[in-house]
Amino acid sequence: MSTTHQTPPEPPPVGGILWSIAGDIRSVLALPAATAMQVAHPGVGAGVDQHSAFRTDPWGRGERSLQSVQLWVYGGERAAREGRRLRTAHEPIRGVDAHGRPYHALDPALYAWVHATAFPAYLHAQRYLGRRPFTGAEERQLYAELLRVGRILGLQDRDMPRTVEEFWPYYRRVLREELEATAVVRELVAADAPLPPPAAPLPRAAWPLLRPLFNRFRAFLTAGLMPPDAREAIGLSWTPARERRLRRFGLAVRVVVPLLPERWRYLPIAREARRAARRRTT
């Protein structure tokens, strides 16, 4: 009797769009908006509310999330292993949401939505923080690469729209029929950040002075770097004055970040992967 060995899913290609943007420090700025979109789904929000360490260890949870994302894109053979680890970790996450409906973290509709938010979040952030908006061809390439990441996470091809053209009706339906200002969204936007860990670059001694500024900045980025239709669906406020500030901030980021040395511009896993890729080509 023969045994069939399933080929592990491959990460996005070296030199692709995700290779360029997922490890750039600007991706950290867009993370709060994507996270808020995810937990605005009642099932996802309930899972985070009832099972996550976002209240007791927000800095650690954020760091672990960033490391996981980096492995999907830059981890090579570790990418599939990280995908399996995530599915195992999410298997026991189940319960009842605020509307009394049962949920399970690995329900394809919930699991796919968490991953799907990356696409509109990347596109919107690129308009402010990137050199220029993506072209139509680049959008299709980015989406195709995200589908590859979805396979690493254990999503089936049937769980996600297969093309960009199919994605947008799906996305608008979720905004219209599913998303709301869940308790977790409200808490994430309004939460008072705790003292950063000792290893963090933020100066702990100055935290009493920095904390109010950090809280306002996080709320500003959460709403500002969220696509306007998602922001409206969730009920986050936004004003023309804030939009002008975001455009000025984006201009500063676009000028400064490309001038930074690689060790400051890229997150650690991405930085090491990029160096290894250069060594293989020399």
Token readout for 219 is 């709320």
Q: Please, which pLDDT band fits residue 202 given cuts at 50, 70 and 90?
A: low
82-105 pLDDT tens trace: 999 999 999 999 999 999 999 999
Residue 278 has pLDDT above 80, yes or no: yes
Higher pLDDT, 245 or 215: 245
CB atoms within 10 A of CB 281: 7
Asked whether the whole model's pTM tops 0.85, one would answer yes
Q: Please, which pLDDT band fits residue 254 given cuts at 50, 70 and 90?
A: very high
The contacts found for 164-167 with CB under 8 angstroms, 24 or more apart, are: 164/139, 164/140, 167/116, 167/119, 167/143
Asked whether residue 155 is domain-assigned, the answer is yes
Asked whether residue 188 is domain-assigned, the answer is no
Asked whether residue 31 is domain-assigned, the answer is yes
Asked whether residue 200 is domain-assigned, the answer is no
Torsional sign, CA 210, 211, 213, 217: positive
Residue 162 has pLDDT above 60, yes or no: yes
20-54 pLDDT tens trace: 999 999 999 999 999 999 999 999 999 999 998 77
Asked whether residue 80 is domain-assigned, the answer is yes
Residue-level pLDDT at 240: 97
* φ, ψ for residue 24, nearest 5 deg: -65, 140
How many independent structural domains does the chain possess?
1
Query: What's the rounded Cα separation, in Å, for the pair 226 and 127?
Result: 11
Kindly report the three-state secondary structure assignment for every residue of 115-171: HHCHHHHHHHHHHHHCCCCCCHHHHHHHHHHHHHHHHHCCCCHHHCCCCHHHHHHHH
The mean predicted confidence, pLDDT, of the chain is: 91
Asked whether residue 4 is domain-assigned, the answer is no
Lowest mean per-residue pLDDT among 82-86, 106-110, 200-204, 207-211: 200-204
67-86 pLDDT tens trace: 999 999 999 989 999 999 99
Query: What's the rounded Cα separation, in Å, for the pair 128 and 27?
Result: 12
Q: Please, which pLDDT band fits residue 198 given cuts at 50, 70 and 90?
A: low
Residue-level pLDDT at 4: 43
Asked whether residue 248 is domain-assigned, the answer is yes
Q: Once rounded to an integer, what is the mean pLDDT over residues 58-75?
A: 89
Beta strands in the chain (DSSP E): 94-96, 102-104
Asked whether residue 206 is domain-assigned, the answer is no
Higher pLDDT, 4 or 177: 177
Query: What's the rounded Cα separation, in Å, for the pair 167 and 116?
Result: 9
The secondary element (H helix, E strand) that includes residue 227 is none
CB atoms within 10 A of CB 258: 11
Residue-level pLDDT at 194: 74
CA-nearest of 141, 108, 133 to 41 is 108
Task: Look up the domain containing 243 and give its range.
Answer: 17-182+212-277
